[in-house]
Amino acid sequence: MSLAGKTAIVTGGSRGIGKAIVQALARAGAKVAFTYHSNSLAAESLLSELKGEGHEVLAYQADAADKAAADKLVEEIVEKWGGIYVLVNNAGIIKDGLLATMSFEQWQAVINANLNSVFNYSQAVTRPMMSARQGRIINISSVAANFGNSGQANYAASKGGIEGFTRCLANELGRRGITCNAIAPGFISTDMTEAIRNAAEDTIKKQIPARRLGNPEDIANAVLFFASEGASYVTGNVLTVDGGLTLGAGM
Ligand code: NAP
């Protein structure tokens, strides 16, 4: 699949799932700008890897929850590259805790990074995508949106919000040639899941029909599909990529 001549923005693209998405889009031929929050070493290492392969890639330190920064970054990219074809809203964090003891800061930090960020970048790209009458907005949700995990009220609320937002945007933008879809990953091996993997990897694997944790590339492959020309009639969907975890058929 080729994205030659296309442009993309990926939030939280320096590590984990976002990194695999940046690599996949760049290797498919797209020019890719990605953001990160604070780990500049990881961002620089990805930049040099992809530039070394001859790809056009840019990295920006920008808190995805910062609306002004999102507007500025999108404006810069449109000026530099002439437009934006793909937006992947991937940036996300967890700050788990039972509601009884969850601080408002814990709640707000997760809503800001995971959900307000999706508003910020989606709104910023809407105008240039509408002018071009084409675009792909791809939001990274989670199976946690529907699981009801104890200790994840903030995270599940942010991801449930993303899924409702995705359907509304698909409806609003469909007539402009823009699709909006979400991906709900299951258990993926990244820094985010390191603690729980260390504590219970074997038990988790038994609950997954595929009998393995997901790789960031499993999610990047789904992003490539939604970004592709062939997916132009697919919009408003949430694609679960979890090795069958949510079938509840494991063990
Ligand atoms: P990760 O390994 O912790 O990486 C998170 C990435 O997001 C990093 O590049 C980080 O930048 C960036 N980031 C975090 N907060 C940010 C902010 N406020 N502004 C800009 N960038 C920010 O996480 P991951 O596992 O790859 O998760 C990626 C997405 O997939 C998240 O939305 C997550 O909720 C979702 N997801 C993950 C899983 C899983 O099992 N891993 C399952 C379902 C859904 P720095 O490097 O600078 O910190």
Q: Does some domain include residue 249?
A: no
Question: Rounded to whole angstroms, how far apart are CA atoms 225 and 232?
Answer: 10
Exposure string over 161-183, b if 16+ CB within 10 A, otherwise e: bbbebbbebbeebeeeebbbbbb
Q: Does some domain include residue 251?
A: no
By residue range, what is the domain housing residue 213?
Answer: 7-241
Region for residue 203 given its phi and psi (left: phi exceeds 0; alpha: psi -120 to 50; beta: otherwise): alpha
Q: Does some domain include residue 46?
A: yes
Q: Is 36 a catalytic residue?
A: no
Q: Does some domain include residue 191?
A: yes
Number of domains in the chain: 1
Q: Domain holding 93: CATH number?
A: 3.40.50.720
Of all protein residues, the one whose alpha carbon is nearest to atom 7 of ligand 1 is 12
Region for residue 152 given its phi and psi (left: phi exceeds 0; alpha: psi -120 to 50; beta: otherwise): alpha
Catalytic residue among 60, 121, 155, 233: 155
Q: Is 32 in the pocket of ligand 1 (CB under 6 A)?
A: no
Going residue by residue through the chain, which has 251 residues, state the pLDDT in tens, using 9 for 90 and above: 899 999 999 999 999 999 999 999 999 999 999 999 999 999 999 999 999 999 999 999 999 999 999 999 999 999 999 999 999 999 999 999 999 999 999 999 999 999 999 999 999 999 999 999 999 999 999 999 999 999 999 999 999 999 999 999 999 999 999 999 999 999 999 999 999 999 999 999 999 999 999 999 999 999 999 999 999 999 999 999 999 999 987 55
Q: Does some domain include residue 80?
A: yes
Q: Does some domain include residue 144?
A: yes
Give Cβ neighbours of residue 97 (< 8 Å, ≥ 6 apart). Answer: 103, 106, 151
